[in-house]
Structure 1
Amino acid sequence: MTVARTWAVALTGLRGDLVEVEADVSSQTPEFAIIGLADKALGEAGRRVRNACTNRGLDLPKRRITVNLSPASLPKRGSGFDVAIAVAALATSVRMDAAHVADTVHIGELGLDGRLRPVAGVLPAVVAARAAGRTRVVVPTANAAEAALVDGLEVFAAVCLADVVRWHGGRSEAPDLPAVDLPGAAEPADVALELADVVGQREAVDALVVAAAGGHHILMSGPPGAGKTMLARRLPGILPPLDDDAALSVASVRSLSGETVTRLSRVPPFESPHHGATAAALIGGGSGVIRPGAIARASEGVLFLDEGGEFPASVLDALRQPLESGVIQVHRSGVAATYPARFQLVVATNPCPCGQYGVPGGTCECAPQAIRRYTRRLSGPLLDRIDIDLRLQRVSSVRRDDAGAIVTTAHARSVVAEARARAARRWKETPWRRNADVPGTWLRGPAAPSSDVLAPLDLALRRGALTLRGYDRLMRVAWTVADIAGHDRLEASDVGRALYLRRGASAS
């Protein structure tokens, strides 16, 4: 046969599009041409394929080989097309099961010796293959565990190109080669930090439980050593475990980031970028292949910005759009990638550059202008998207006189689970399940309580102390407080507690 076909996957963000790889042999002039909007890395595949085939004893025809990647209008990037191109080119002259080749998706990069090297993004690529109705996929051995996470597909893990040819019914006398291992260390175990380790910050712990129960964003301000980072790192441990779809989405983002993925973790992710991170590191980007940033990696979990006052204002303002929409779009020349951005934002900041402003017993040496400039890094529009504002002080005593007041991670997790179940029952006739996701038009419409209950919020709105966005966020927090308290309807005490959390509860 002179024309052979098989399949590969082109990734744009988490979206994968099936690409038909066609190979045709024409004139007697030896040449290897790849057409179909390929980038530089993909355009170099011809050289890798020729050397890999020769070194595995799989000689390509000494004629002009044209490989077409269809649809031609779809940009294709990266070296993950190598195996599909090699198989399609070999199928023009090597006897293989044509139907088997034409119904298989091939993913992987080729080494010059013919070994299949692992590539990033195998998991979302396999998910895309299944969604397109394909039932067979070939991946490098190092990506086998990752591909096996997707049910309903036959996964063949190949060490070298000769293994793929034999699997398709062809013959090869090439000797075996050792597999290429994944770089990097093994995945860390899922360990939830114990909330009971937090000493003397009961108000802050209660606020953390409210944030977890409703999916609310939280700002913690206080001097160094008050326990802000300690509290933030314990938030993922009290969140509900990820369901199948969320766990697969988290693993897919990690796969695109080049991380080792061997299992679906049920623990919500925790991302804590350094305050020197650029907007691109937060949002995502890169030349050629668009990699997810910290926002996408924190989706379904927690994005923690420690030393929030040290982040450039432009970087912080980049959070505003994904906080509202739940997605992040990264635009580069000729392509736009969309990633999920359903995260809980936790910002920790000092009261001033030296951290001693307003601290009992502390001495602040910062100039007033420096303090104002520091606090203004968190812009009004960003603060308007924060649901809970905590003001922490340093712990003044390490004694635990009341053992019953200690909140453990297990207890907090059960409280959060019960509150979320109550919210899910209340919103069961709507598309939403968490209070943080319910739009203001619904909260102020079908779900609105009596005017007496909302009187404090209405007064704050008239006085200009609240924006309408802040009004809606306070109502969401109030509903979460009601869920934790077991109230079927919103009560004045729930609104009062929400106002207290919004205005800056002082934890002692």
Structure 2
Amino acid sequence: MYSKVKTCVLQGLNGFIIEVETDISRGLPTFNIVGLPDTAIKESKERVRTAIKNSGYEFPLNRITINLAPANLKKEGSQMDLSIAIGVLSAMGVVNNCDLNGISFLGELSLDGKINKIEGALPMVISLREMNIKNIVLPYDNRDECGVIDDVNIIPIKDLNELIMYLNGEFKIEYYKKDIRDLFDVNDNFADDFSDIKGQEGLKRALEVSAAGSHNILIIGPPGSGKTMAARRLPSILPNLTFEESIEITKIYSVAGLLNDEFLVSRRPFRAPHHTASATALIGGGRVPKPGEVSLAHHGVLFLDELPEFQKNVLEVLRQPMEDGFVTISRVNATLSYPAEFMLVASMNPCPCGYFGDPYHECTCSESSIEKYLSKISNPLLDRIDIHTEVMPVDYSDLEKNIKAESSKNIKKRVDEARKIQIERYRNEGIYSNGQLSSKNIKKYCKLNSGAEKIMKEAFKKFKFSARSYNKILKVARTIADLDGEKNIMEKHVLEAIQYRSLDKKYWG
């Protein structure tokens, strides 16, 4: 007695079809699974056996062999339980009134036959659709995240008995489709709003430029100057997520098991790992590879507070994803890749005590301790941060004013307009913001007028900018020009952009 059913496994965010072949033959009662299964799949033998028994069926006392094809692909995850159980039941003749060829089965079994929620359901469904598998049986609790996908028939199932009756035509289940029309409605009522910040107009302007062009930003200033407060309000001025961006983020969160009650991520992520985080926590990996903080911040913000407090080797691993927009994790059996297009927002004190340059407090640090503290931030990492801005403590006069500061809603309008200009400009380039410009595209799109070109030339000689810093200045100047609605980059745009690189010489010169 032989059967074949389909399921799916993930490597990174890419799914691969697995054919579960089941053979039940005469011989001593054994239950073997072959085809590079991991521990979770080997353990599924007991879950499948007990679930079938507790669903009211006799488990065959025969020789049962399960082959997971292709045999050269490492299989991981408990989502294969359901396909193995259906393979056994089909070979037994219990499921006999259905063509299983066009159906894929995903789900983990509990011992009483219930089908439990799985991680990574969304990327599996998308991969199956791309491989022309349109009918997908999956756990009832995964129905919402997968029901947003078009051109697939989602069949949500609660338990094994329900599935058997459905496959035999004894029970009808409607294909599930999730209505998401209201999910991306604009909501301008943010809990954290820029209007909460008194003074600090320079910092707010730098964050506006950063948001408008998707530029990385470093904020330097003493304790209590509002660095963290301002950074946490950055998502309130970022453009709303598109459906495509939401799906990309949700795939990552689905694999990481972080969706919880949220079936689709509808807000830009804001991730703020503690400075004790390891390189693996930041980049991803582990025995069972999972996305790290840089991937969880995809299309959102990665906030690193107290940047020099992170281990230096942890900071250095950021360089590759900041440049490439993805993370590669190598294993013996496979190489996994996760997207990581994030905005880095970093904050730090200017010295160990925090008060170097503070007009109200005296710095107690020695010159050597300040140098040691700042040396934790390498030049290659600094070069990858487009905007460097300094902030000082808020003046009493600013705190005393009753004038309401500009709201996130108003700033966001300017950011949205600048982003629209960029999306239209780069519609044939495969990018959507100035922060993504390559060296080749910078020459094409960052045109300076004669006065701006002269200023840029003088600044390059005076500050001895690197080639990467030069390109960063042009990209930031392009964003400032977009905020002003200017087609070409003018003198004032270049001057402001150069100002955002002047701290290199002050602190790391």
Structure 1 partner of 2:177? none
Asked if 2 retains the 8 angstrom alpha-carbon contact of 1:285 and 1:293, the reply is yes
Shift, 1:44, TM fit? 1.7
Determine helix, strand or coil for the equivalent of 1:44. Answer: helix
Asked if 2 retains the 8 angstrom alpha-carbon contact of 1:220 and 1:347, the reply is yes
Give per-residue Cα distances to partners, 1:7-43, cap 9 Å, x unaligned.
1111111111111111111232211111111111112
Partners of 1:359 and 1:433 in 2: how far apart? 39
Determine helix, strand or coil for the equivalent of 1:444. Answer: helix
Partners of 1:147 and 1:429 in 2: how far apart? 30
Structure 1 partner of 2:276? 276
Structure 2 partner of 1:182? none
Shift, 1:198, TM fit? 0.9
- What's the TM-score, normalizing by structure 1? 0.91
* 1:83/1:191 CA distance change after superposition, 3 Å: farther
Structure 1 partner of 2:371? 372
Structure 1 partner of 2:55? 56
Asked if 2 retains the 8 angstrom alpha-carbon contact of 1:21 and 1:84, the reply is yes
Partners of 2:356 and 2:374 in 1: how far apart? 12
Determine helix, strand or coil for the equivalent of 1:91. Answer: helix
Shift, 1:399, TM fit? 4.0
Asked if 1:27 corresponds to 2:26, the answer is: yes
Asked if 1:250 corresponds to 2:249, the answer is: yes
Alignment of 1:186-335 (within 5 A): 191=190, 193-259=192-258, 260=260, 262-287=262-287, 289-335=288-334
Of the structure 1 ranges 459-468 and 232-241, higher mean CA displacement relative to structure 2 is found in 459-468
Partners of 2:209 and 2:468 in 1: how far apart? 19
Give per-residue Cα distances to partners, 1:206-254, cap 9 Å, x unaligned.
1111000000000001111111111111111111111111101111111
* 1:122/1:29 CA distance change after superposition, 3 Å: same
Give per-residue Cα distances to partners, 1:102-124, cap 9 Å, x unaligned.
22211111112222122211111
Of the structure 1 ranges 431-440 and 319-328, higher mean CA displacement relative to structure 2 is found in 431-440
Shift, 1:59, TM fit? 2.3
**Unaligned 5+ runs, structure 2:** 172-186
Determine helix, strand or coil for the equivalent of 2:303. Answer: strand
Structure 2 partner of 1:108? 107
Determine helix, strand or coil for the equivalent of 2:358. Answer: coil
Of the structure 1 ranges 443-452 and 99-108, higher mean CA displacement relative to structure 2 is found in 443-452
Shift, 1:3, TM fit? 1.7
Partners of 2:347 and 2:401 in 1: how far apart? 28
Of the structure 1 ranges 414-423 and 51-60, higher mean CA displacement relative to structure 2 is found in 51-60
* 1:440/1:400 CA distance change after superposition, 3 Å: farther
Determine helix, strand or coil for the equivalent of 1:502. Answer: coil
Question: Which AA in structure 2 matches 1:111?
Answer: S
Question: Which AA in structure 1 matches 2:101?
Answer: A
* 1:497/1:463 CA distance change after superposition, 3 Å: closer
Structure 2 partner of 1:488? 487
Shift, 1:504, TM fit? 4.1
Shift, 1:146, TM fit? 2.0
**Unaligned 5+ runs, structure 1:** 173-188
Structure 2 partner of 1:385? 384
Asked if 2 retains the 8 angstrom alpha-carbon contact of 1:5 and 1:20, the reply is yes
Question: Which AA in structure 2 matches 1:302?
Answer: V
Of the structure 1 ranges 37-46 and 475-484, higher mean CA displacement relative to structure 2 is found in 37-46
- What's the TM-score, normalizing by structure 2? 0.91
Partners of 1:154 and 1:310 in 2: how far apart? 50
Alignment of 1:27-176 (within 5 A): 27-97=26-96, 99-169=98-168
Asked if 2 retains the 8 angstrom alpha-carbon contact of 1:192 and 1:236, the reply is no
Shift, 1:402, TM fit? 8.1
Shift, 1:408, TM fit? 0.8
Provide the aligned length of Structure 1 versus Structure 2: 487
Shift, 1:450, TM fit? 4.6
Partners of 1:286 and 1:427 in 2: how far apart? 37
Give per-residue Cα distances to partners, 1:321-370, cap 9 Å, x unaligned.
00110001112232221111100000000112221222112133333322
Of the structure 1 ranges 200-209 and 395-404, higher mean CA displacement relative to structure 2 is found in 395-404
Partners of 2:97 and 2:371 in 1: how far apart? 71
Determine helix, strand or coil for the equivalent of 1:200. Answer: coil
Structure 2 partner of 1:409? 408
